[in-house]
Structure 1
Amino acid sequence: MNKHYPLLLVLALFLAGCKSDGDVSSAPADHEPPITSSVASTAQNGAEVATSLTARYNDVRTNCGASSMPAFLCRGIVLRSTVPSTAYKAWNPSPHSQKSGGVSFSYLSKDAKFTGLVFGQKNGYIFYPVLSRPIGTRQIEVLCSYPLDGATQLREAPGCGAHPYSPDRSRRCQTIGITTAEGWIANRRSNTWNLCSFDVRDSMNNQGADSFYQTIRAHQLEGFFAGQHDYLELILATWPQNIPKELPIEAFFYLEGGLAGAQFDQKDFFDSTGGKVVPIIKIILPTSPSADARFVYSAADQVK
């Protein structure tokens, strides 16, 4: 991709002059995300982020170029829903996460759709994929994945271990002989709490990409889509408190009804980083299995 940089940069700068400051809605696209120019305005960056999110949503590669590189490293949307508050920073790990060593995220893509977030929350933030995170930001490791909500609050640390309601059959899938989507489904059907986690840590090496791909397959095969807990869940390694500049936050997002929360977080992040602007993107989740999510940037949504 680097060998095309000069041409894409020129194209990005040319297109920037043609963009308006109104709503920018990204429809499904098959091309790679554009390279963001360092001289682009905030409005243009927001539009480009919406385009990049759409491209990653539509990307359904099984890995990022090798069997040791799970798909979440380069495609899909890794997001965390939050609740705005003056008592804490939305991007800081919660007290529970500080203790457990894991932070819960959701994964959204064309092959891993859902209709709502945990507890009905309406806003949060999105991480860049590891392979495209900005220089100077931390690489946050993904530790495990679940085809739906993994009921991780009660699990053994870091949220990938056994659940007390089924201590033997809810551990990491590979430790109990489960390596396929079909195996995961059969295990859960024997007991609702048999929710084992697919191990996707870096240490999985050549099994890592398939482990995550089986997570997506189980999500699809079992028809998880419109239920209350039907989002694919990831557990990421906990990071230190109060390091907003080091976090690979690509955007703050909101669903319908969550704009005020996203605006609070955008301003709080701006103030906490000494002036770093991260755009707000509206996510319109699909309402049917055949529909797709949309990512919309609007200048009117921004407070910074």
Structure 2
Amino acid sequence: MLAMIGPVQASPELDKYGKEVEKKVTLRYQAYVQSCPNNRPAYECSGLLIRGVGDPRGKHFNAWDPPRKGATHDTSFSYVRIGISFERLAYAYTNGYIVSPPGQEQPDQLQLQPTCFYPVDGASDKRSDKGCGAYEDKKDSSAPCVVSSDIVTGAKAWFEAHSPIDDKAYDKRCAFSLKGPDVTEAFMTALAVVERASEKTTVPNDFKVTSWTAETAGALPVEAFFYNDEDKLIGLPIAQFNQCRFKHVTGREVPILRRVVLLLNLEPFEHTIENVNPPLAEVYPALKDMAFEHGTLRAAVKSIAPRAEGLMAYNSFSYYSQDQTGVQRCSEVLSAAAG
């Protein structure tokens, strides 16, 4: 078993880039919007797409490879941002990676194509239509989610069909389609649902994008690898291996971020969320004229279901220079894992 690397000072270039990525990730996480400029869906400028991964050390796959089901299923991420209680990764993974938002990729990177979104995991690996369709033989119980020009109507329909939320009722959950002319309204409705639903379960949501191939995996717009701080002894060595392996395979050096989950009281959060309008234009100049509107979304969230009692799991992603691996240490990491 590969031991965790001790404190290592990152190169000045990686240190600078890591801090820039931390800022981008933090601003997107805190950007509470209901849509992006030109009536584009909120996930293009707000929130994070994260994917938990297993341990690839000594095995014949990379953390950023597509699922082994390949072309038969799209790939699952989780969508997280302020307002969504998000505590655990799928399968209780200790680490993973963050990708750039759809539409924000670099010219030489894969363009992510969202396909559908489950506010609570719907066991998409057992569904038709590449994970966005009916659950096995239960077609009548897992039709697509209702989308309406009035997002309150669509959100209420979801809760009427799925309340109380049973963590094991995967087969009955619907997916909001992220394709077609109604994608902005569909995702806005899904946001209203996932905010309230996430208070009532720790089951992650499921944001699906069209899968890539093993041959194109190196062009995936990986923004950073991360590990859970509470699982540092397990997650950090895997993240360090993934960072080194990614640099070795693709030539791109991306930082490792530390993910911390804070449990906050729901009520103070409700009073402060209205004031969270970060200066996204600092990292996305194209958004300089963006108006941060969220009144319709907040009204929908408040009206669709009773507020849960308890705490909200708030996520924080931070860059630490000592978590990174340099060129010499990467050679040691990869050699140890191969052995």
Q: What does the per-residue CA deviation read over 1:274-296, in whole Å, with 9 as the maximum and x for residues that have no partner?
A: x3101000111232344632111
| Secondary structure of the corresponding residue to residue 293 of structure 1 | strand
Q: What does the per-residue CA deviation read over 1:143-163, in whole Å, with 9 as the maximum and x for residues that have no partner?
A: 000111121121113111011
1:252 maps to 225
Tell me if the contact between 2:106 and 2:221 (Cα under 8 Å) persists in the aligned partners.
yes
Cα RMSD, aligned residues only: 2.5
- Cα distance in 1 for partners of 2:93, 2:118 equals 19
Question: Partner amino acid for 1:46?
Answer: G
The 5 A counterparts of 1:1-304 are: 41-67=13-39, 69-85=40-56, 86-96=59-69, 98-164=70-136, 166-174=138-146, 180-189=154-163, 192=169, 193-201=171-179, 204-205=180-181, 207-222=182-197, 224-225=198-199, 227-229=201-203, 231-256=204-229, 257=231, 258-273=235-250, 275-288=251-264, 289=266, 290=269, 292-304=314-326
Tell me if the contact between 1:125 and 1:253 (Cα under 8 Å) persists in the aligned partners.
yes
| Secondary structure of the corresponding residue to residue 223 of structure 2 | strand
Question: Partner amino acid for 1:172?
Answer: P
- Cα distance in 2 for partners of 1:228, 1:220 equals 12
Q: What does the per-residue CA deviation read over 1:71-119, in whole Å, with 9 as the maximum and x for residues that have no partner?
A: 11121110111012132111111222x1423001001100223111111
Tell me if the contact between 1:115 and 1:225 (Cα under 8 Å) persists in the aligned partners.
no
State the 4+ residue runs in structure 1 displaced beyond 4 angstroms: none
Q: Which has the higher contact order (CA 8 A, sep 6+)?
A: 2
Q: What does the per-residue CA deviation read over 1:149-202, in whole Å, with 9 as the maximum and x for residues that have no partner?
A: 1211211131110113632131322499x971111111123884421100012x
- Cα distance in 2 for partners of 1:114, 1:244 equals 27
Give percent identity, aligned residues only: 28
Tell me if the contact between 1:112 and 1:232 (Cα under 8 Å) persists in the aligned partners.
no
- Cα distance in 2 for partners of 1:285, 1:269 equals 26
| Secondary structure of the corresponding residue to residue 92 of structure 1 | coil
Question: Partner amino acid for 1:184?
Answer: W
- Cα distance in 2 for partners of 1:227, 1:218 equals 12
The change in CA–CA distance for 1:228 and 1:111 in structure 2 (over 3 A counts) is closer
- Cα distance in 1 for partners of 2:125, 2:216 equals 24
2:285 maps to none
Q: TM-score, normalised by structure 2?
A: 0.71
Tell me if the contact between 1:84 and 1:265 (Cα under 8 Å) persists in the aligned partners.
no
Question: Partner amino acid for 1:236?
Answer: V
Question: Partner amino acid for 1:87?
Answer: H
Per the TM alignment, residue 47 of structure 1 is displaced from its structure 2 partner at its CA by 0.9
Q: TM-score, normalised by structure 1?
A: 0.78
Per the TM alignment, residue 64 of structure 1 is displaced from its structure 2 partner at its CA by 1.1
The change in CA–CA distance for 1:44 and 1:236 in structure 2 (over 3 A counts) is same
- Cα distance in 2 for partners of 1:188, 1:22 equals 49
Q: What does the per-residue CA deviation read over 1:201-242, in whole Å, with 9 as the maximum and x for residues that have no partner?
A: 2xx22x1111111111112233x247341x221011011113
Q: What does the per-residue CA deviation read over 1:18-55, in whole Å, with 9 as the maximum and x for residues that have no partner?
A: xxx989xxxxxxxxxxxxxxxx7110110111111110
Tell me if the contact between 2:127 and 2:136 (Cα under 8 Å) persists in the aligned partners.
yes
Tell me if the contact between 1:114 and 1:226 (Cα under 8 Å) persists in the aligned partners.
no
| Secondary structure of the corresponding residue to residue 224 of structure 2 | strand
- Cα distance in 2 for partners of 1:72, 1:209 equals 9
**5+ residue gaps, structure 2:** 1-7, 270-311, 327-339
2:287 maps to none
Tell me if the contact between 1:122 and 1:254 (Cα under 8 Å) persists in the aligned partners.
yes
| Secondary structure of the corresponding residue to residue 253 of structure 1 | strand
**5+ residue gaps, structure 1:** 1-20, 24-39
- Cα distance in 1 for partners of 2:200, 2:18 equals 29
**Larger helix proportion, structure 1 or 2?**
2
